[in-house]
Structure 1
Amino acid sequence: MLGARLGAYVSLTKPRVIELLLVTTIPAMLLAQRGTVAPLLILTTLVGGWMAAASANTLNCVADADIDAVMKRTASRPLARHAVPTRNALVFGVALGVASFAWLWVTANLLSGLLAVATILFYVFVYTLVLKRRTAQNVVWGGAAGCMPVVIGWSAVTGSVGWPAIAMFGIIFFWTPPHTWALAMRFKDDYERAGVPMLPVIKTPVEVTRRILAYTVGMIIVSLSLLFATGWLYAVVALGAGAWFLTMAVRLHLATRSGAVTNPMRLFHLSNTYLSLLFVGLAVDSVLGLPVLL
């Protein structure tokens, strides 16, 4: 019984989503000082980042409990099946947010703590409560919250926000729509049933894949801007992974235009692999301290 209850609270934090966010934090920290960051600072920043993301996700579950209950993809979430009282989840989410601020302030610096709080507030109040149910641009602007771990990681090391941090923010900003819209194409009926105006709900598949392609190009362009701060290894990974992602996006768009049966989930899964490869390449390049290419 206790194990099931604890599992429900962990599930509120959406741990699988957090994993991908934290993967981007470490490379950002390593790039900030080209691989010379103290391991303890990395660990403490990851703990603070986890608490911030867990807070945002938990509060998102509180706000979205009604629509989660009617979507097959999310019907098993704790609040949708009443496994956790709403009041408890709200207190849990707020407590995590306060703890993340205090932790980052003490172990890193005040800026990192403030950025974490701003991220939580933006995700809950701007994305979840305002944008998500009102506009198809919800994941475009709301996705900015998911870009913040790299900025928090950079600020934890430097105490400031440099242009490479903005570039990494931009990569994830342009990555988020293709990633999310590919998933939404698969679960279009779910979103329509819940009254959430995701792009595939209100636009044709051709228009959706056209926009996926446009954001993919933007993502690759921004990823190449980091060549001014990285070595040849990152360049190889960025070019290779970018070409792979672009090829798959083009194929999805052409197949959709031709009326063929498509599987957008292939692009969704590829997007996760792409982001992981890109940031792992960035981390290794930074640790090796390779000469800046440009």
Structure 2
Amino acid sequence: MSNTTETTNTIDSSPQNGFMYQFNRYFALTKPRIVLLLTITGLIGFLIAGRNIYDLDFVIKLIVAIYMGFASSGGAMAINSYLDRDIDLLMKRTKKRASVNENPINPPEKILIFGSSLVFSSVIIAYFVFNLLTAIFISWGVLFYLFGYSLYLKRKSVLQNIIGGLASPTPVWVGYAAIQNEKMLVNAEAWLLGLLVFVWTISHTWALSSKYHEDYKNANIPVLPVVYGIKLTAQLTFLWIFVVVAYSIIISFWMTNGSIILQILLILPHLIIIYSGFIFLKDATVQTANKCFKTHNFWLAIVFLGIWIFIS
């Protein structure tokens, strides 16, 4: 009897049964670094749409919107981890996730429930705190990402990052819709700013897939560097970066009523992302792909922040 009690106490006191241990495992499945960037784009959309509103109600809704952005994106990422268990086991960068590692969350349906709860809470908040259109945009983004991209395009098509990227502007549109409701539908500013994220996503994901092309090859995922080689991917990435930069100059110039100061300040970020693409082009390796990938993240955050500051 005493042995049983001692064993039970030992199990209960194990760090692996602690709240913070379990919290960190689930939280990691939301892919917080990706979600942070998505939340920033949605937050900037929210702030730009409400740039003439300065009151306590706006601040409260801003806080709610931040949670809504994390819950929708993070929940979708967690569900994605549940759906991708079969391929995550085959890739070095993902096989340590709590969904598939040596001590996985069991049963795995707990991950599905966790992610679905986050998404559901974001949709409910969107509808009752903001409006129906906001809830529709969140639902569209999550459903297309999970069913269009994760379950089909990612596994079947080399165009996965282009077609799948149609979900990437959703956080921006959610931010606008939360403030402007149906007026957002006829607001070219909202659609064109969201389009910047879509255009950026293409070269961003080419760099990412090149960084992990061996993993994708092992998992039989038809990303561009696996199907056509990392050298061709580097060439296309470098060329597409010019499209990204050109579009960002046009949209930022238009949205800020021709702010020359912003354009001058963005010269350095533009040169940095172009240079990262050039390095990747000249030496198409995992290391240069990683630098190009990280530079894309930095660049998008800077451009969005710059537009927000100079449009206010």
Q: Normalising to structure 1: TM-score of the pair?
A: 0.90
- Alignment partner, residue 114 of structure 2: 92
Taking the TM superposition and a 5 Å limit, the aligned residue runs for 1:240-259 are: 240-256=268-284
Contact 1:183 1:265 in 2 (8 A): yes
Q: Which position in structure 1 is the counterpart of 2:11?
A: none
User: Is there any run of 5+ residues in structure 1 with no aligned partner, and where?
Assistant: 290-294
Q: Which sits farther off after the overlay, 224-233 or 270-279?
A: 224-233
Determine helix, strand or coil for the equivalent of 1:72.
coil
How much has 1:285 moved relative to structure 2?
1.5
1:68 aligns with 2:94: no
Structure-1 separation of matches of 2:106 and 2:306 = 40
* Distance (Å, rounded) in 2 between the aligned partners of 1:85 and 1:99: 22
The equivalent residue for 1:25 is 42
* Percentage of identical aligned residues: 26
| Structure 1: distance between partners of 2:240 and 2:131 | 34
Deviations 1:207-251 (A, max 9, x none): 101221232122122212321121344333444422331233133
RMSD: 1.9
In structure 2, how many angstroms separate the alpha carbons of the residues matched to 1:165 and 1:233?
22
CA distance in 1, matches of 2:190, 2:142: 19
Partner of 1:13: 30
Judging changes above 3 Å, is the alpha-carbon distance between structure 1 residues 262 and 53 closer, same or farther for their aligned structure 2 residues?
Answer: closer
The answer to which of 247-256 and 160-169 deviates more is 247-256
For 1:79, the equivalent position in structure 2 comes to 99
Deviations 1:57-89 (A, max 9, x none): 111111101111111101111111222422111
Residues 102-139 of structure 1, C-alpha deviations (whole Å, 9 max, x = no match): 10111221111110011110000000011001111111
Question: Shift of residue 194 of structure 1?
Answer: 0.6
Alignment match, 2:14: none
Please identify, of 3-12 and 194-203, the stretch whose mean Cα deviation from structure 2 is larger. Answer: 3-12
Identify which range, 117-126 or 84-93, moves more after superposition.
84-93
1:262 Cα offset (Å): 6.1
Deviates more, 1:140-149 or 1:232-241: 232-241
CA positional deviation for 1:175: 1.4
Q: Kindly state the Cα deviation for residue 90 of structure 1 after the two structures are TM-superposed.
A: 1.4
Which of 199, 202, 219 is residue 194 of structure 1 equivalent to? 219
Structure 2 counterpart of 1:127, one-letter code:
Y
Q: Provide, for residues 168-193 of structure 1, a one-character-per-residue CA deviation record: whole Å limited to 9, x for no partner.
A: 22211121122222222222111100
The equivalent residue for 2:255 is 229
> Which residue does 2:201 correspond to in 1?
176
Separation in structure 1 between the aligned mates of residue 144 and residue 128 of structure 2, nearest angstrom: 23
Larger Rg belongs to:
2
> Secondary structure of 1:132's match?
helix
Find 1:214's aligned residue among 236, 239, 253.
Answer: 239
Task: Name the CA distance, whole Å, in 2 between partners of 1:201 and 1:106.
Answer: 45
Indicate the SS of the match to 1:263. Answer: helix
Distance 2:267 2:288 in 1: 25
Greater alpha carbon shift after TM alignment, 275-284 vs 231-240: 231-240
CA distance in 2, matches of 1:44, 1:234: 30
2: CA distance, partners of 1:228 / 1:145: 24
Instruction: For 2:261 and 2:107, locate their aligned partners in 1 and report how far apart those are by CA, in whole Å.
Output: 49
Greater shift, 82-91 or 64-73, is seen at 82-91
The CA distance in 2 between the partners of 1:60 and 1:262, in whole Å, is: 26
